[in-house]
Chain A
């Protein structure tokens, strides 16, 4: 069944196929050049599991939903065997429900969730190993040297050269998807959506708000869509600026670190002026906002950007011009277009490798159909390209916000609006996609016969991209790992949920 981004449908209208047909149809849809899997998960129904697979076809601007049911102890043919991009999804279904996937090349634990079907612990992870005196292993984490989230990295090195990297996640697992179903107040769910990944507050909470409003068939004003779009673009500016600072830190370029770091401050402080939180927590709520984007805020934004942009451009031009910087970031951590495509990479690593993956352009939502913009795409797939995507996307986002302010519709919300009493419609299914600064975010919601949430499945772009990082560092020096890692800047909690 074909749906549009954010369009909810009756579950009964989604055809339940046999697994063989489901498998064949997905394989043939994946032949289309712009097709990619945005979410694939299982929902328990009695003694069976119902599988939902959502494939976005960018050229057609629609999402194909496939569904099947399988027995709880089934072993079925693996989609990953045909398309590697399915690996995290099948691993999740295997880990939660013990479903076997025949032909899956890497059927390892994904995140050690509390409700996993096996009784192993996170210390039992089966690391890949090579028995050879030529190689040595380096283990890093779960706690890292800096102030970042935990994850374990296991390198197999030949001297200083990385031969193989395996990334073991799950340390951050908080049981978020289950808590999401248990906490049934809309404000609790909105707060949880903000905590999926605390660096992508707007990206995830807009995906949540869209899904929720669609399941409740609750229409929102055009103005609110404009506000959300501005917030999404502002989040991109703020985080990209901070990331450029962190990339400079990892190559010991002190000036870039200090200048981009301080330039991030007015960008996140802008959110504080708008919403009282530097990370925009509290800004996005289903059906309303407590912080409408006003004329005064628009003027303030233009003033803030007028001070920010010349400094940002000056610093970036110097950085991208400096041989000592370029020698560290050019040809480092290369991901080819073919690899990006086969792993289903999204966001910066995909765009840097020449793959045009941008939900804002391919599946427009909020107010993205009101502005004209072209995704930034590079070709070299290295750290340089990923840094360059950030720089150009910041400039792009500034243009986008300017265009949105110019076209801003009249405010319709008058003063404080109480939390809307949203009743979700029974037996509905929705796919909600947004393009967070990190890449494609997908939330899928499913309601039961009483209109209660039966499943809420969250996919952070990191789910696709962690394997990309593991492959990008092969044949690089181990000292280049931090810079490769930062250029991907993936979320641990967004992956572990």
Chain B
């Protein structure tokens, strides 16, 4: 008992007080900024392993980007990754960063379904389904619930059954063998519900986009409410994306 109390005392407070403004340590690669500098854009597009770079004008698709940073190392005068971890959008186009623009990525308020904010503003329960995910996004989603990020304080929780859930959080490129179980989970979630894609693989298929072992057709059948980029998605990116979707203030 005494030892337990000692450990409590030694640990002190561990939570991040304000998850919307806290600084991330080190050289985190978040939202990229593309300058108007004249460079060989084709060479950069060719360099990118993820086929995320478009040319004339240059764009980076965060739904494809693996955030490896190679382009920024090869051409620092053109591309710079900032430490801004707010990367989510509720439209696929919203994830495309264009040359000459340096502004935060925000949700298109007009496209948020009114019932989402009305019903889930105070509390939302989510069911996570990994469909070919490599476990890194899954581990980061687990981390959102730890004592540091503590997403539970916002009324956001992951639950065991889709029957108890208000939405599905999918990770992974959607392997053919998991396509049916994923669809079952979506169908088992009572309406109204949200569908959230987390990580590069889930949003675009990543390097598995054209793999014959991947089947993304299920996504055509449902409305995606939120795209949260990352490889894997940082817990702060996920927490902030949820706060934006639900229209919550940081408390």
Contacts and interface: CB of A to CB of B under 8 A. Distances in A.
A and B interact: yes
Interface stretch (A72-80, A141-149, A394-402, A441-449): A141-149
A290 B69 contact: yes
Nearest to B81: A276
Interface of B: 3-4, 6-8, 10-11, 14, 24-29, 47-50, 66-70, 73-74, 81, 128-143, 146-148, 158, 160-161, 172-173, 175-178, 181, 185, 201, 206-208, 211-214, 231-232, 234
Contacts, number: 197
A227 to B, nearest CB: 15
A384 interface: no
Given A147-B141, A197-B134, A198-B133, A142 B49 contact: no
Contacts of A176: 208, 211
Given A148-B130, A175-B213, A491-B135, A281 B68 contact: yes
A149 B4 contact: no
A418 to B, nearest CB: 7
25 contacts: A145-B161, A146-B142, A147-B130, A147-B138, A147-B158, A148-B138, A150-B131, A150-B181, A171-B177, A172-B175, A172-B178, A175-B211, A178-B213, A190-B49, A195-B206, A201-B136, A265-B148, A272-B24, A276-B28, A281-B231, A282-B29, A282-B67, A291-B27, A311-B10, A418-B74
A274 B26 contact: yes
A279 B177 contact: no
Contact of B207 (A113, A142, A183): A183
Contact of A173 (B47, B175, B206): B175
A146 B212 CA distance: 28
Contact of B142 (A147, A172, A190, A291): A147
Interface in A118-166: 122, 142-143, 145-150
B41 to A, nearest CB: 17
A259 B9 CA distance: 12
A170 B26 CA distance: 37
A117 interface: no
B175 A174 contact: yes
Contacts of A281: 66-68, 136, 231-232
A328 B57 CA distance: 61
Pick from A146, A275, A276, A321 the residue with the most CB of B within 10 Å: A276
B28 A174 contact: no
Interface in A369-419: 416, 418-419
